[in-house]
Structure 1
Amino acid sequence: MKIIEGKILSPKSKIAIVVSRFNKSINNNLLDGALNTLKRVGQVKDDNITIVWVPGAYEIPLIVNILSLKKFDAIIALATIIKGNTSHFEFISSSCSSEISSISIKNSLPIIFGILTTNNIEQAIERSGTKLGNKGIDAALSALESINIIKYIKNI
């Protein structure tokens, strides 16, 4: 019986992180968590990490799609979408989620959805480094593990 589990160490991996400037203070916390995890836990070198800032979450799928054609082992998408009084939240959240998933599957590339979709700013703050941890850390761990699972499967 073969059991495949990804390891976290991935020092030679090339990873892109796409980050929204909208809600930048929260997204900076997500980015800090992701970077710290990639470098300290995954031992990914600075030269192998590319950060791309975009205006908002809606622009992330386009940039992720372009980056997916480059030589990255994984892409991490980081943003914060906070529900307001209009249906804008649903359109942006749904579009980002489905497009990122589609690009990932189409290219057999781990694209990690580190986009917070919250009802209010308090929930966003809790998920970016306080009570509920930092979802940027979780996204980085998912990227590292996915990279190694894919490498293992390709070598079977």
Structure 2
Amino acid sequence: MSGEGAPRLDVADCEGLRVAVIAAQWHEKVMDGLIDGALRALKEYGVAEPTVLRVPGSFELPVVAKALADRGYDAVVALGVVIRGGTPHFDYVCEAATMGLTDVTTSTGVPIGFGLLTCDNDEQALDRAGLPGSREDKGHEATTAALATAVLLRSL
């Protein structure tokens, strides 16, 4: 089962961090859950007034993440969902978005919360979206990871 063995992150001192959340528009119900989880985490950890932007799809997450990183954000949370279909499109979009976000974080030094769900079906996505009845809250998890990394980097 996914989620087992996840670390318990102790996140503190997030006040003053400039954080953006970028979210794809595909799969509205799943995305609403992911965004709600991200915003809940930001509020819990004291991040005031995060920037929230919507992009057409998961493929567009890296270019906007790069623009935000270049504009001085301390952390970016990238949220999206790609559901496997009957063509290789799933593989191409998942790989491009993952590699693009990896490139942004390593080239800029800005932590990217990886909230890109790559699921075989709608049920898996809904189960990870942080909705009532979901087993996991990947929007909250991705945000917490980005914040913990931003705080760590700030302390170096």
Q: Which has the larger radius of gyration?
A: 1
Amino acid at match of 1:147: A
Whether 2:48 is the aligned partner of 1:45: answer yes
Whether 2:22 is the aligned partner of 1:18: answer yes
> CA 1:18 to 1:6, structure 2 compared with 1: closer, same or farther past 3 Å?
same
Amino acid at match of 2:38: A
- Which of the pair has the greater relative contact order for Cα pairs under 8 Å at 6+ separation? 1
Residues 127, 135 of structure 2: 8 Å contact kept = yes
The Cα offsets for residues 54-81 of structure 1, whole Å up to 9 and x where unpaired, read as 1111111111111111121000000110
Q: Tell me the CA shift for residue 143 of structure 1.
A: 1.3
Match of 2:88 in 1: 87
Unaligned 5+ segments in structure 2 are 1-8
Rounded to whole Å, the distance in 2 between the matches of 1:147 and 1:53 is 22
Amino acid at match of 2:34: L
Match of 1:124 in 2: 125
Percentage of matched positions with identical amino acids: 29
Rounded to whole Å, the distance in 1 between the matches of 2:134 and 2:32 is 17
Aligned length: 146
Cα RMSD over matched residues? 1.3
Q: Tell me the CA shift for residue 8 of structure 1.
A: 3.3
Unaligned 5+ segments in structure 1 are none
Rounded to whole Å, the distance in 2 between the matches of 1:108 and 1:6 is 21
